Amino acid sequence: MTSVPTAMKHNPERGLIRAAAINALWINTSEVFRYFVFVMPMMRAALPGVQNVAPMSLPVFLIWAVWDTIVQTALMMFVWLYLERIGYGVRNALIAGSLCWLVIFGVLWLALLNMNLATPRILAIALPMALFELLVGALIVNWAVSRTNDDEQWSKDDHGGVLREIKVGEEESWGDRAGPPKPPVIHLDRGPMIDLGFYRRLNTLIRVVRQLAGRPPPAPPGQTPPRADRVRQV
């Protein structure tokens, strides 16, 4: 038995685009709500001696928009790569979202607290809300990409799915076969196993037609094809 490596893989682009559109709305809404309702007034109350603390103007708002885009991109790429490597599912999505939250918001607020630019009360409000934000964003990525993979299961090569391995029988010469060959099987990531006996029979029929037409059958791999003048005409 020989194994033929596969070159067919699923394409998550549609799922990522779908997740990006939903997360763009979700993360921007969450960030604006958390900043205007909680963080900005709490920072101004905690640091009254700091001039122009937690300002808000058009340039500042645009910078926060860039911040939101960076957070969204980092979340989606990290969660997607994590799920691709570990496996899709709610549990893995929550773990990936928690790790992303720890790297982004945990480090940010810990640094601010260490520099005396934030208070424990602010962290007690901002960190859980940011965690909820990224967990929902991670679940959106998991839902969008895994759903796209399921939709595309049967959309490629008339069968779909992700071909992991194709096992075929050993190649035999045209006149040395001692019985019907065992049909190969394609193993899919999802869905049933597909019997390729039909394609084996179709290949046999093509060989018979070529012989009847006076043309030699294709030579097995590693063998020199027979000369045309040595092929017996039927």
- Quote the percentage of the chain above a pLDDT of 90: 53
Paired tokens of 108: 């940010």
Identify the pLDDT of residue 126: 96
In angstroms, the Cα distances linking 182 to 5, 8, 116, 168 are 19, 24, 73, 8
Q: Is 196:159 a contact under the CB 8 Å cutoff? A: no
| Per-residue model confidence (pLDDT) at position 13 | 85
Examine the pLDDT at 181 and tell me if it is beyond 90: no
Distance CA(147)–CA(83), nearest Å, equals 13
| Structure-model confidence comparison of residues 89 and 204, the more confident one | 89
Measured CA to CA in angstroms, residue 148 lies from 14, 15, 88 at distances of: 7, 5, 12
Q: Tell me phi and psi for residue 143, to 5 degrees.
A: -65, -45
pTM equals 0.62
Beta-strand ranges (E) seen in 60-137 are: none
Beta strands in the chain (DSSP E): 2-5, 163-168, 185-188, 194-195
- Tell me which residue has tokens 């990531």: 189
Quick one: pLDDT at residue 12? 79
pLDDT tens per residue across span 78-131: 999 999 999 999 999 999 999 999 999 999 999 999 999 999 999 999 999 999
Q: How confident is the model at residue 51 (pLDDT cuts 50, 70, 90)?
A: confident
* Interhelix angle 90-101/120-151, nearest 10 degrees: 140
pLDDT at 104: 96
CB within 8 Å of 62: residues ≥ 6 apart: none
Q: What span, in angstroms and rounded, lies between the C-alpha atoms of 26 and 33?
A: 11
pLDDT band at 169 (very low <50, low <70, confident <90, very high): very low
Structure tokens at 14: 């549609």
DSSP character at residue 211: H
Percent of the chain whose predicted confidence (pLDDT) is above 70: 60
Q: Does 61 score more than 90 pLDDT?
A: yes
Q: What is the pLDDT of residue 206?
A: 73
pLDDT of 148 reads: 74
* Confidence category of residue 201, pLDDT binned at 50, 70, 90: low
Residue with tokens 């960076």: 70
